[in-house]
Amino acid sequence: MTSLKNPISKELLNELQADLGSRRIEVGMQRLASCSHIFQSFDPSMENATRFVGIVAQWCDLGFGDVGLVRQLLRNYLFESRLALPITDYIQVSMAEGMVAMAEEMLDEAISHFDTVLKLAPESESWSAISTVSCWMARCLRKKGLYDNALSHIRRAEEVQRECGHVRNDGPARVLESFVLFAKGESKSAIKNLQVAQDLLNGTDDYESLGHIQALHGRIMHQSFLDDLAVQHYQNAIELFQKSKARRDNIARTIVDMACSNFNIIRRLRRNIEEGSYQHQKSERQGPSRAVLLKGLSILCEETLAGLDRAAQVYREASITRGISRAHVIRGFLYLDMGELDLAANEAENGYQLARSKNDQLRMATARNLQCLVENTAVQEEIGGVAERALAALDYAREAVELAGNTPHRMVLASAYIYLGLTLSNAYFNNQEGAREAMERGASYLEPDLLYFVRESFQGLKKRLREEVTLESALIRLAQGEIGAKTYRELIEDFAHLVIPSVWDEEKRVIKYTAERLSISRRKVRGILRKLGLLETGVRTCRKRPGLPATDPHGRGAAAKKNRRRHADGGDSRYDNR
């Protein structure tokens, strides 16, 4: 209990700290809500005043009140008075200052405060401050794309928490670590960490951390192109965030994530409607009519746009500029898919300017990618001045490449190069060599998990370039010595990219026969086809050729058997190493 003479007792602070350590969120919120008399009469001269400020900052980060409450407490500490504070008190004030800066998206300022705390805290053995600030520092570093540094701080926090016996408090750190691992492309490790966090947090009312677990599962499903499952996880996350009665920006972020999955569903549904793939002609039972499907598509588009509007409003109320920017860009991609080029261009520009105000180069690059696609679509459909649109697309593409190059996000960088390739190969520029170089650069950043996001554009560019470049024209260029700055090995690789897909098509897309015909390994064939994005829908490695005798399952006859015997005897084995 607190007395009138000493309203901020050590007992109160210890209980609030213990609630954090055991993830007793509702109990801690109620305990802090009963301290209204302390907030009203707060004075730095009170005993335990600075520790109270530090603990309130931690609870505000979980959703108690808002950042204005912490800012109000900090106003009582003038600059001159802070210099006279003991180290332990200065740590608490700096920790609270950093939390306010972090909430207001002033990441560099927040990092500066946290760095001060982490340098001073070990000297005063402020272990609780170290674990909390290490996680906050990691959150800021993650937003800046400095994932390895973020992981080192998270693991420091986990180490301190285990030493202090705060086992349950390790759960939120595990969740944060999973987000960083996912951003690094280590989805399997992220999933394992999420399970550990789930086990630690089961039985608690830390609905915010539990909601983040579901939200990250949604992102992982979205990355794997399992968007229906992703939407289910996002809905679960929103329900948990609503239970927490904490920060509404968590709900807004999840709504925007869900809009990304809905966007993929919308594109897939629209494509299926256009191709008529829902008409089961061989089935006695007919599928939904085209009118029904179009109505469902329209409803999903409206619901997604309405969700983005709600999310943007929440972000505005919380003054989260990056969130508003992201909502604009996702809405722009949706408008582009709907054919509303002017609306898409406006959303992209709004998203870019908001991201620019925070120097968020990731979202700036994403917005420029969208603007590039809008202008390229206008060129393709001959809307407006073609020359002006094409030049604008090229400017946007080049800026996107430059911006994305300043971030560690391989998917955005791959997209930027692919969109640059689409621009250079459009009807206005028709720069096939430049487009091919951009495609190759983009392909170097593609990974299996990332390919889903940009595979349609990548395949479109690849198809456009393959239509323009035949094997005959490639040989003519080589014979004329038009090799640019490429090495002999690079020329061989380019040649393989042309020959192997052609032979693969001739061999009914069977890898075994392709490898045998070219006397190369199946692994080499698979590697080239995967790099070109031709193995995403499944591949047959061996089957009986139509029209060949059943007695020869390989379809090669005596000559093939003779060759196989020669390989078995060691003859012509040099071909296996090509």
CB burial of 207-237 (b: ≥16 within 10 Å; e: otherwise) equals bbbbbbbbbbbbbbbbbebbbebbbbbbebb
pLDDT of residue 454: 66
Q: Could you tell me if 516 and 558 lie in one domain?
A: no
Q: Could you tell me if 355 and 365 lie in one domain?
A: no
- 127-133, long-range: CB < 8 A, 24+ apart: 127/160, 127/163, 127/164, 128/17, 128/164, 129/54, 129/91, 129/92, 129/95, 130/156, 130/157, 130/160, 131/157, 131/160, 131/161, 131/164, 131/166, 131/169, 131/173, 132/58, 132/95, 132/157, 133/95, 133/98
Question: Is 399 domain-assigned?
Answer: yes
Cβ contact 345:371 at 8 Å? yes
Report yes or no on whether pTM surpasses 0.85. Answer: no
Question: Is 129 domain-assigned?
Answer: no
pLDDT of residue 560: 43
Question: Is 315 domain-assigned?
Answer: yes
Question: Is 210 domain-assigned?
Answer: no
pLDDT of residue 21: 86
Q: Could you tell me if 409 and 367 lie in one domain?
A: yes
pLDDT of residue 570: 41
User: Tens digits of per-residue pLDDT, 89-110?
Assistant: 999 999 999 999 999 889 999 9
Report percent pLDDT > 90 for the chain.
49
Q: Could you tell me if 373 and 328 lie in one domain?
A: no
Question: Is 169 domain-assigned?
Answer: no
Q: Could you tell me if 308 and 399 lie in one domain?
A: no
Q: Could you tell me if 372 and 403 lie in one domain?
A: yes
Single out the residue in 302, 336, 359 at which a domain terminates: 359
By mean pLDDT, which of 101-105, 352-356, 391-395 is the weakest? 101-105
Number of domains in the chain: 4
Q: Could you tell me if 495 and 572 lie in one domain?
A: no
Q: Could you tell me if 258 and 332 lie in one domain?
A: yes
Query: Is the predicted pLDDT of residue 572 greater than 50, yes or no?
Result: no
Q: Could you tell me if 318 and 377 lie in one domain?
A: no
Q: Could you tell me if 539 and 556 lie in one domain?
A: no
Position with higher pLDDT, 346 vs 183: 346
Single out the residue in 359, 393, 414 at which a domain terminates: 359
Q: Could you tell me if 264 and 337 lie in one domain?
A: yes
Question: Is 416 domain-assigned?
Answer: yes
Question: Is 354 domain-assigned?
Answer: yes
Report the C-alpha gap between 156 and 154 in whole angstroms.
5
pLDDT tier at 577 (50, 70, 90 boundaries)? very low
pLDDT tier at 427 (50, 70, 90 boundaries)? confident
Cβ contact 380:336 at 8 Å? no
CA dihedral 307, 312, 313, 316 (to 10 degrees): 170
The CATH code of the domain that includes 437 is 1.25.40
CA–chain centroid gap for 408, Å, is 11
Single out the residue in 338, 359, 380 at which a domain terminates: 359
pLDDT tier at 81 (50, 70, 90 boundaries)? confident
pLDDT tier at 141 (50, 70, 90 boundaries)? very high
Question: Is 222 domain-assigned?
Answer: no
Query: Is the predicted pLDDT of residue 558 greater than 60, yes or no?
Result: no
Q: Could you tell me if 253 and 351 lie in one domain?
A: yes
The domain containing residue 499 runs over which residues? 469-543
